[in-house]
Structure 1
Amino acid sequence: MPSVVRRRVDADLGACAAVLAEVHAHSGYPHHWPEEPVRWLTPDGLTAAWVAEAGGVVLGHAALCGREVSRLYVSPGARGLGLGARLLAAVEAEAAARGVRLVLEVKTSDVSAVALYERRGWARRGTERQEWGVSGATEEVMVHRYEAPVGGREAGA
């Protein structure tokens, strides 16, 4: 069944949260499960968001917050279909239209995401230890910082 990447609408949020729960159970993303997943999907500073879907079923999500790629994930059952790359391309195209050079951070242990960004020409700008916390408890996490290629990429590339 063919898939499409399109702008997210409010009616998608429940399905996006359900896919996020699958992703979290499978790979631990997001690192800390949000108390309010729908609110987590609509952070302050949200510029735009997209979903990947096939047959009316949401399979993935990505967001642009200012100049940062955020909330990018794909259902475990839909991995390997190129949806992550297509979602990232949608964010890249929007940023290019706005004249914004994208950045992102990713846990060093998320090797599939690291591979995606590097395949698409993103430049690693550093690796650092960060303290992430919820409810007063913190832990150290290693993250790579990336910057989009100069000139971006064409959507669908």
Structure 2
Amino acid sequence: MPREARIRPRTDADLPALASALVEVHARDGYPVEGVADPRAWLDFPGLRHSWVAEVGGCAVGQIGLSGPGGEDAARMWAAYTGGDPSRVAVLARLYVLPEERGAGLGERLTRTAMDHARDHGLSLVLDVMAKDRAAIRLYERLDWTRLGEAAHHVEGAASVPAYRYAWPPSTK
């Protein structure tokens, strides 16, 4: 019998469990490609506006965040593609779920929570996803995100990694 899961706003008390989960996800999937030398800083990054966790059995097992557009290339690409105001964009970031909790739709529920928040606040969303992260790409495409184009994600001290840029809601351009 599957354990009950809930999606809720993230709190500081969730950060130790999420940092540990991030290290596990990186070891298995190579996400994030930047590595996890300081997982807590990666999770609680400057510009973070909102974040939510997937909680199973009282423990945070995954998370998602929204940040402002800042200097994000995806936000600039969205503005060029749509002609829209980049101040009305948020960046979907830091989505992951512990491997043993996958398959129950938690990644989709986290993503839909962020999408609902964006819709309720009149925002469009953008993101970069590494080309190697096929499951994430399938999720975004299933949820009707628009692929804006390709990009190279630069990792300090390493070769760049192929990535795609997506936007939601779907554009009518």
Report the TM-score when normalising by structure 2.
0.82
The equivalent of 2:7 in structure 1 is 5
Contact 1:128/1:143 (8 A) holds in 2: yes
The equivalent of 1:124 in structure 2 is 147
What amino acid is aligned across from residue 14 of structure 2 in structure 1? D
Contact 1:101/1:150 (8 A) holds in 2: no
Q: Distance in 2 between matches of 1:143 and 1:59?
A: 25
Question: After superposition, what is the alpha-carbon deviation per residue over 1:60-81, rounded to whole angstroms, capped at 9, x for unaligned?
Answer: 1100012100000010001111
Structure 2 stretches lacking a partner, 5+ long? 69-89
Length, aligned pairs only: 148
Contact 2:146/2:170 (8 A) holds in 1: no
Aligned-residue identity in percent: 41
Give 1:149 shift.
2.1
> Which residue of 41, 44, 67 maps to 1:42?
44
Query: Could you say what secondary structure the match of 1:26 adopts?
Result: helix
Q: Whose helix proportion is higher, 1 or 2?
A: 2
Q: Distance in 2 between matches of 1:130 and 1:32?
A: 10
> Which residue of 3, 17, 23 maps to 2:19?
17
> Which residue of 150, 163, 168 maps to 1:143?
163
* TM alignment of 1:1-150, pairs within 5 A: 1-66=3-68, 67-133=90-156, 137-150=157-170
Contact 2:22/2:36 (8 A) holds in 1: no
Give the RMSD, CA atoms, in angstroms: 1.3
- Show structure 1 runs of 4+ deviating over 4 A: none
Structure 1 stretches lacking a partner, 5+ long? 152-157
Contact 2:23/2:36 (8 A) holds in 1: no
Q: Whose strand proportion is higher, 1 or 2?
A: 1
Query: Could you say what secondary structure the match of 1:121 adopts?
Result: coil
**Greater shift in the superposed pair: 106-115 or 31-40:** 31-40
Contact 1:127/1:142 (8 A) holds in 2: yes
